[in-house]
Amino acid sequence: MAKALNVNPNRMELSRLKKRLVVAKRGHKLLKDKQDALIKEFLQRARDLKNLREEVEGELRVCYQSFLLARSQSLPSLLEQALLLSSGGLGVEEKRKNVMSVSIPLYTLSERAVGLTYGLLTSSGSLDVTLEKFESLLPKLVRLAAEEKALRLMAKEIEKTRRRVNALEYVLIPSFIETIKNISMKLDEMERATLGRLMRIKEIVRSH
């Protein structure tokens, strides 16, 4: 049973509580609608993320297989030297997009990340192919990181919204209803008592 609020049982308080109840019910509906929309968006993004992760993992396997081939065709010391002589820069730009009050990240590779170079002195053709494959996969890896971050942020927002919905639905709104009921009963009792006193006064007056 909901716990009634500790307020003065008068008509002004009753009117104020009725208005607060209307606002609470409206807020509950808005939050519930937001929660449902967030869950729908979350599930769709989770499905898309699963497909993207599987796609990236498949391409990574191909890249590592290609790297194993390149490594088998080069002496370890020469391969290490070729990679140590690598040059180039990686830049990631971040923007933000608002999705139902959730600020999710959008990551993109900056232009300076294009055309990575590496040590050509001791590199083989298979290493060239391998590094090109890794480079072509970079945009998807960055996108995957952004999508995973977005999903975690949405999960937090869903949990926060769920707590607020539950607080309104199971605590605040029932407390308002119970308090309004108690005040109404007390006011009715007071009116009946007042009416009873008036009736007795009339009888006394008439008897005189």
| pLDDT tens readout for residues 7-45 | 888 889 999 999 999 999 999 999 999 999 999 999 999
Supply the mean pLDDT for the chain: 84
- Closest alpha carbon to 124 in 90, 155, 82: 82
Residue 208 has pLDDT above 70, yes or no: no
Q: Which residues contact 34 (CB under 8 A, 6 or more apart)?
A: 100, 101, 161
Give me the pLDDT at residue 46, please: 96
Give me the pLDDT at residue 167, please: 95
- Closest alpha carbon to 141 in 47, 72, 58, 205: 58
| pLDDT tens readout for residues 65-110 | 988 887 777 767 666 666 665 555 677 888 898 988 899 988 888 7
Does the pTM surpass 0.85? The reply is no
| Lookup: tokens for 11 | 């008509």
8 Å CB contact between 157 and 101 = yes
Assigned CATH class of 11-207? mainly alpha
Q: List the domain boundaries for the chain.
A: 11-207
Higher-scoring residue by pLDDT: 130, 24: 24
> Rounded mean pLDDT of 119-130?
64
8 Å CB contact between 139 and 106 = no
Give me the pLDDT at residue 116, please: 47
Helix axes 11-72, 76-84, angle to 10 degrees: 130
114 — pLDDT class (breaks 50, 70, 90): very low
Residue 198 has pLDDT above 70, yes or no: yes
| Lookup: tokens for 159 | 């949990």
